[in-house]
Amino acid sequence: MKFIVSSTTLLKHLQNISGVINNNNTTVPIITNFLFQIEPDEITITATDLETTLYTKVPAKSEEKGKVAIPAKIILDTLKEFPEMPLSFLVDNTTFSVEISSGTGKFKLAGFNGDEFPTAPSLVDPNTLEVPSELLATGINMTIFATGADDMRPVMSGVFCQISKNDVTFAATDAHKLVRYRRNGIQSPVEASFILPKKALNILKNIASQNDETVKMAFDSSMINFKFSNFSLVSKLIEGKYPNYEAVIPKDNPNKLTVDRIPFLRAVKTTSIYSNKTTYQVRLKIAGSELNISAEDYDFNNAATERLSCEYKGEDMEIGFSSKFLLEMLSNLDTDQVCLELSQPNRAGILLPVNSENTNEEVLMLVMPVMLNS
């Protein structure tokens, strides 16, 4: 069995799907390989960790059909060394050994019987929806940093996706911070909700950010499939009920601070260098049109203060936040200004973009306060 393929095209596609593979898997060693399914005009390549399966199609020339599993690490390391050139693959149909021929050399490696490679379970009577790839990339990027890492609460380790008749909402929380991203104007024939696992989302956002096309989503009660023109991702959904995150969002926030995002980001980043390395606490002191940002580490006698101009409506206030959470949120917004809505020093703050260019977007970020040092 023989096929010819572009070295750089093959490498790019393999790199896009290689993030699925768990190279330390010892219970099912076949899944440390890529499955190559050869057709006359293309190869379908599969990578899986049994929870997430990713397919990609690569143009190729072949006069035969067949399949072979090729070790992922060695094929990736080999392809990285080639410039753009046609590569010829010759597969022994009995031993499944693979010989790769370039213009200057030959490389032989052990392959495996492709029939032993596991197949992803099929979706049962799935619902379908088409969305722009840009929506997926934005929704994931906006929320994935707020997911939790507590093994005792697996539902919070993923991103909650809620599909309504006229919008799609992504939400994530780890109980210290919360992000809700909503895109209006997306028409859906169904209403549904599910929890997407973090590993699949990290792979999906990379593919979605490189494509400008419509993505076909299909999902049932336990599985979801995202289909692009050259990629298809199938993933198990996280089982369980997502917490009612809407209930923790304070509705009455009379104190509103508006400030330029980049100077605010820089000031928090600079002062956080001097903060306590356990709490990463920064103190916001707001009075009139002035915002003071400060941090101190009493153990090492370190302290820093930054002063910014701002617009503020409300009572003078001092409130503490984790600088790590503030920096994550400010870095994931892209507007010139942000609004921080507050009620009391012991209640959550709401961070919102100001004058977003996309009027169909709604972004809300919630951050819990930390107790101020006296």
Instruction: Give alpha helix (H) positions in 3-150.
Output: 7-17, 72-79, 133-143
Instruction: Give me the CATH code for the 2-116 domain, please.
Output: 3.10.150.10
CATH number of 250-370: 3.10.150.10
The yes-or-no verdict on residue 356 having pLDDT over 90 is: no
Per-residue model confidence as pLDDT tens digits over 44-97: 999 999 999 999 999 999 989 999 999 999 999 999 999 999 999 999 999 999
Using the 8-state DSSP alphabet, how is residue 329 labeled?
H
**3-state DSSP helix/strand/coil percent for the chain, to nearest 5?**
25, 45, 35
Residue from 55, 89, 57, 84 nearest 70 by CA: 89
Contacts of 189 (CB under 8 A, 6+ apart): 127, 128, 129
Domain boundary assignment for the chain: 2-116, 127-247, 250-370
Average pLDDT over residues 185-199: 94
224-259 per-position pLDDT tens digit? 999 998 899 999 999 999 999 999 999 999 999 999
Measured distance CA(352)–CA(137) in Å, rounded: 20
CA triple 333-336-337, angle to 5 deg: 85
In the block, tokens 């993505």 appear at: 215
* 3-state SS, residue 75: helix
- Would you state the pLDDT for residue 374? 58
Closest CA to 174 of 155, 198, 151, 156: 156
Write out pLDDT tens, residues 115-170: 999 998 899 999 999 999 999 999 999 999 999 998 889 999 999 999 999 999 99
- SS3 for 226-277 is EECCCEEEEEECCCCCCCCHHHHCCCCCCEEEEEEHHHHHHHHHHHHCCCCC
Least confident of 22-26, 221-225, 233-237: 22-26
Please tell me the CATH superfamily of domain 127-247, with its number. DNA Polymerase III, subunit A, domain 2 (3.10.150.10)
